[in-house]
Structure 1
Amino acid sequence: MTTCDHSWLPKASCDGSCVHAGGADAGRRLVVWIRTSVRVVMAVILAPGVPLLAVPIPGRSHVQRFYCRLMLRCFGVRISLSGGPIRNLKGVLVVSGHVSWLDIFTIGAVLPGSFVARADLVEWPAVGRLARVMKVIPIDRGSLRRLPAVVHTVAERLRAGHTVVAFPEGTTWCGLAYGPFRPAMFQAAIDAARPVQPLRLVYRHRDGRPSTIPAFVGEDTLLRSVRRVITARRTVCHVHVGSLQLPGDDRRALAGRCEAVVRAHQELPGAPAHVLAA
C-alpha cells in the first residue's frame, strides 16, 4: 500500500513487522491446502452474486448482511457482536477504526451502507467490484482540495436517509496500534443533522489472542493479505456497537466523543457477545 507523500496525510506507524501469521497449523500442509481450497471455491461461487446487492428489492439490507457473512465465511472469518442494539435508523454515519479490507465485509454484515474509501479501491479485484455495487464514495487522500466535495456527498447521502460508513483514522493500522479520528467526515453528520454510530472492530485468533493477520498495512499487497487471511485456521472479529452520538455543532468535539466510545471498548473482557451465523 503506497500513497503520495504529503505532510498533512494521516500516516500509520504500522508496517509489515506488525503482521504475524501465527502458524497454528504448521506441519499440517494437507489440512491447510484442503481448507484453503474449499474457501476459494466458495468465494468463486459467491462472487457472481455481488450484483444482486444493487437490486432495489424489499429487505435488501438483510440480503446484504447475509451475503457479507457468507463472504466472511469464505475467508474463514466469524463475527461476534456485543454492545448496544443495532438501530435501523435512516441516515446514520457509521464510523470505525480501520484495519483491513475485511472491514468492508464485517461492517456490511452488521450495518450495510455506502462506504467512504480510497479512490483506488474500485480498481481492486473482487473487493473493488463489491465496493462499486455498494456505491462507494471515493476519496483521494492525495488531494486535500477535493475533501469538501466528498463531505458534501456524504451529507447528501445522509439527508436522503442512507447509511454511510467512514474510517476517520484516514488509513489502516495493524489493530494493536491505532490513530486519532480526523474530524473532516464528522462535518457531514453535522451538516445533515444526523447521528453517528461508532463501532469497534477487534480481530482475534480462534483462541482469543489478538490477531494482526487481517491487517493491511505498509507495503502489503491485496493478494498477500487475502492469502494470509484465507489460509489462517480461523479469525474472529469482535464488533462492539457503541452508544449513538448526536451530531451537535462542533466536528472536533463529535470526533473526540466517537473516538472515546470506540477506544473505551478496545478490550472487552467478559463482555456479552453472540456469534452471528450466516
Structure 2
Amino acid sequence: MRVVIPVHDINPVRRTPWVTYGLIAANVVVFVLTPGVVGSLVGEETGLARLCDLQAFLDHWAAVPRELIHGQLPDLVPTGGTGVGPRGPGCVVGPPGYDKSPALSVLTAMFLHGSWAHLLGNMLFLLIFGNNIEDRLGHLRYLLFYLVCGYAAAYGFALLNDGSGDPLIGASGAIAGVLGAYLVLFPRARVWVLVPFLVFLPLRLPAWIVLGFWFALQAVYSYGGGTAAGTVAYVAHVVGFLAGMLLAWPLRPGTPQPPEPRGLLFGRRARHTW
C-alpha cells in the first residue's frame, strides 16, 4: 500500500544512472514476456489454460520459501497444459522438466511482477530514488548492492515463512533496500509527493518523512496491523529496507548533501516575518 505517491526528488546526480535504467527496462521486458500478459493487454479473458501456463512459469522461475530454506523441490509441478480429472477441469501436473536452483530463483524472481500496478509502482520508486544511490555508489557497486538487498529480503521473508509453498516475486525487496540507503544518505533531500486527500494534494516533504512513513507502514502491516497483508510480502520490504540502511551507513560521512531549497515549503511559497 502506498499512501503517498512520489513524483520527483530535488537531488541532482553527476552521472547517468545506466544501471537503474537497465533494471527498469529488464523488469518491463520480463513482465511483457510473462505468460498471459500480452493477452490481457488486448482484452482477452483469463482462461484456465492461461492460468495453468502462468502457474507453470512461476513454479519454474519464482522463489518459494520452502525451497529456499529446506531445499524441498516438488516432485510434481504444473506443466502448462489443461485436462479433466476426477474433480473436473484443471492443470496437468508432472515431474519438472528442468533443474531448479532455489538460490538462483531469488535472482529471477526479482524481475517478475504480478500485475501492471505492481510493476509500475515498483519502477516509479526505483526511478526516483535509485539514481542518487547509483550516483553515490557507482554503477557496479550499485548493482551489487541492489542484488544483495533483494537476496536479503527474500531469505528474510523465507526464514519467517519456511513452510510456505507460495511463489515470491517482485523487485520490492531490492527497491526497499534502495529506499533504506536513500534515507541514510539523503534524509533532508526534498521529495515532491502526491497525497490523496479528497484530491491528489502535491506536497514537497523531506525524504526522512516520506521514507520513514513508508517504512513504518510496512512494519505495521508485517505484524498484521491495519488492513490484512493479503499477498504482499511486507516482511520482505522491512528486511530489504534495513539491509539497505546497514550497507549505506558507512558511506554517510563522505556523502555530499543536496542544496537546501529556499523560498518554498511543502509546495507553497514561504512568507518570512522579520
**Relative contact order higher in (CA < 8 Å, ≥ 6 apart):** 1
Larger radius of gyration: 2
TM over 0.5: no
Structure 2 length normalisation: TM-score?
Answer: 0.27
User: What TM-score do you get using the length of structure 1 for normalisation?
Assistant: 0.27
